[in-house]
Amino acid sequence: MSDIEESAKAVQEVSKVAGKTVDGVRDLASFIGKFVPTEEVAGIIRDRFQYFRYVGQIKLIQKAEAMWQQAGILTLKPIPLKLAIPYLEAAALEDDDSLQDKWAALLVNAANPAKSVDLSRSYIAILEEITPFEAALLDKIYGFPFDSIQHNGIWTAELPDRAIAGNEKEEEPAQVKDKNPSELVVLGLANLKRLGCIQTASTWGGGENFKRILPTVLGKHFVAACTM
């Protein structure tokens, strides 16, 4: 049996174990039972939760296997169990296709001995807490070489369609003159700031200014880790 086949089998076995972990589901059923005192309702919730988690794990494994085969990765480095379990539990609940791709890419990059990507709890936490829209914002922001935007930043007025790189003089480009990002973009950027993926400048009064943002080292490495 090849290394890839052995690794695939190991991932499948771990996913089976994670799929049988129902302590959290029992807690949820117990909580709901306080309001709807029927064992049948709790049972339905538990069964459906386990089913969707199982389906999510299968999709994740299929995506990851396709990625590492397409990349021509011949050997895989092991993922520590203390990270593999929370990763599988979190990734299995993702139902958005674009974010599933990022979960799968994170696993493959972390298992690729040719890359210096480690599967960290911070990456898992960020992927759990961003929306597809916010992930798209990150892709736009970090579509530029990090060195070119590290100090000059990104103008956000035309996001999500495009990001505009800043300049050394910190002058507003003509495209964003007197324009501000939409409320939806601001809310997305606010969450990305909370997660440490971007930084914002402050207004004279000390408030947040989302018109121009700066990348972070964490954001840079997170996006790279989740991109094939």
When pLDDT is cut at 50, 70 and 90, the band that residue 197 belongs to is very high
**Closest among 64, 94, 67 to 79, alpha carbons compared:** 64
Element (H, E) at 200: strand 198-202
**Tens digit of pLDDT for each residue in 66-81?**
998 888 888 888 888 8
In the block, tokens 């007025």 appear at 157
C-alpha radius of gyration, the chain, whole number: 21
Angle of helix 121-129 relative to helix 97-111, nearest 10 degrees?
170
**Tens digit of pLDDT for each residue in 25-82?**
555 555 545 555 455 555 544 655 565 666 667 788 888 889 988 888 888 888 888 9
Q: What 3-state class would DSSP assign to 211?
A: strand
- Pair 154, 189: CB distance under 8 Å: no
Parallel/antiparallel/unpaired status of strands 164-165 and 208-215: unpaired
